[in-house]
Amino acid sequence: MTDVSAAAAGQAASLTVRDNRTGTEYDLPIVDGTIKAADLGKIRTADDEPGLAVYDPGFVNTASCRSAVTYIDGEKGILEYRGYPIEQLAEKSNFLEVAYLLIHGELPTKAEYEAWVHEITYHTFVHENVKGFMHGFRYDAHPMGMLMASVGALSTFYPDARNIDDPDNRHMQIVRMIAKMPTLGAWAFRHAQGKPFIYPDNELSYTENFLSMLFRMSEQKFAADPRLAKALDVLLILHADHEQNCSTNAVRSVGSSQVDPYSAVAAGIGALYGPLHGGANEAVLRMLKRIGTKENIPAFIEGVKNGNERLMGFGHRVYKNYDPRAKLIKKACDDVFEVTGVNPLLEIAQELEKIALEDEYFVKRKLYPNVDFYSGLIYEALQFPPEMFTVLFAIGRTPGWLAQWNELIQDKEQKIARPKQIYTGDRTLTFVPAEERWA
């Protein structure tokens, strides 16, 4: 029973715990469906013994903060930013407006929106020395490694960023980071290809400018197909926040030391780089290529059911229903393929989805397509190599990371992140110096 229903039934919103070691009973208040771990700490066998703690590797059932940024109901397939359904934002808004919403908590007025777009647009340039150190990476450097390093390095260009208690200062760094991320991502991409870096074009929209920095060659002005720019904008919106996922937790954890936001976001990029987090769409693409033709699908599905394969892009820790983002990405697929021609892997993906959604194995386990099932196909159609997929995710996630960081800094209940451990090693050994041990 939740505390709300308990209150409605006239019962106390509390949990009574009996410690069988001592026979003592404790009444722990339940607030917002949680008990405080610190209240458990009061349960102890003696005053000089440590209090009871919770063992929760991966924080699967531990709330680390209060947050008003993003709401997810995994059972129902609901995702909302600041209360607005993702479907409406993807269809009717744009990435910069969504970024404003995430950061400020409310939609902008016309004047606020124009000022925001102006600010972001005029901070897209990076210090010329950034170009210098980006050239220093090896020719085959992974663009995520380059992005992580260059975002971290921005903290040295803006030492004032460590003044995190000043709201105007925080605003400045938020604007800078959202503005510069596409520049850094595009330059990492160009570096791998040995192509010159393209400076931002302030006459273009956020997404058009990004495409220009990625793909422009000798033309005076890069004109992206508006349908492709729109599809990429929608993908950025869909990735903009996802409450306390691994990278956001990294940003909050590092940010809780009160370091500058560039260092905190660099930590988030590091977390996103990992294959369990940002790398799944690349795995989907590899899987589709391996399947090769529709005829091979039944054998592949059998392999999945026998436990020899995993259907990448299916299943989610939180969503036990169709991932709402996957539906929207499917729609963006149609728009992109209208311009680029259909990716032959799409047919295999659609057939796989059809079979899986009807198969008892997947139905029983509530396995539905997630955000990564179709996004790799779009990115490939837009000419991105697989290493760039996670960079695109990072650019989209930046406003979310910053909104969560900004919330953390102002949250009076937050402390430096410092989990407990259950110590399993030796104790009180006597050290024998090397010359005696090796004698």
Ligand X SMILES: CC(C)(COP(=O)(O)OP(=O)(O)OC[C@H]1O[C@@H](n2cnc3c(N)ncnc32)[C@H](O)[C@@H]1OP(=O)(O)O)[C@@H](O)C(=O)NCCC(=O)NCCS
**Can you give the binding site for ligand X, defined by CB under 6 A?**
280, 304, 310-317, 365, 367, 370-372
In angstroms, give the least distance from the CB of 311 to ligand X.
4
DSSP state of 310: -
The distance between the two most distant Cα atoms of the chain, rounded to a whole number of Å, is 80
Tell me how many degrees the CA angle 337-210-231 measures, rounded to the nearest 5: 30
HSE-CB for 227 with a 13 A CA cutoff = 13
**Residues identified as active-site:** 277, 316, 372
Element (H, E) at 81: strand 78-81
Tell me how many degrees the CA angle 119-124-128 measures, rounded to the nearest 5: 135
Q: Which is nearer to ligand X, 28 or 246 (CB)?
A: 246
In angstroms, give the least distance from the CB of 388 to ligand X.
18
> Which residue minimizes CB distance to ligand X?
315
Cβ atoms of residues 144 and 385 within 8 Å: no
Distance CA 423, CA 50 (A): 13
In angstroms, give the least distance from the CB of 396 to ligand X.
14
Q: Which is nearer to ligand X, 98 or 371 (CB)?
A: 371
Phi and psi at 408, nearest 5°, equal -60, -45
In angstroms, give the least distance from the CB of 310 to ligand X.
4
Q: Which is nearer to ligand X, 177 or 329 (CB)?
A: 329
In angstroms, give the least distance from the CB of 71 to ligand X.
18
Distance CA 215, CA 202 (A): 16
Structure token pair of residue 71:
């709401």
Q: Which is nearer to ligand X, 21 or 310 (CB)?
A: 310
In angstroms, give the least distance from the CB of 313 to ligand X.
5
Distance CA 173, CA 155 (A): 10
Instruction: Choose among 307, 82, 332: nearest CA to 207.
Output: 332
Q: Which is nearer to ligand X, 16 or 308 (CB)?
A: 308
Q: Which is nearer to ligand X, 119 or 243 (CB)?
A: 243
Q: Is 17 left (phi over 0), alpha (psi -120 to 50) or beta?
A: beta
Residue type, 322: Y
Residue type, 415: K
Query: What is the SS3 assignment for 372-400?
Result: HHHHHHHHHHCCCCHHHHHHHHHHHHHHH
DSSP state of 71: E
Instruction: Choose among 152, 390, 139: nearest CA to 266.
Output: 152
In angstroms, give the least distance from the CB of 406 to ligand X.
25
Residue type, 209: N
Positive or negative, the CA dihedral 354, 284, 78, 301 is positive
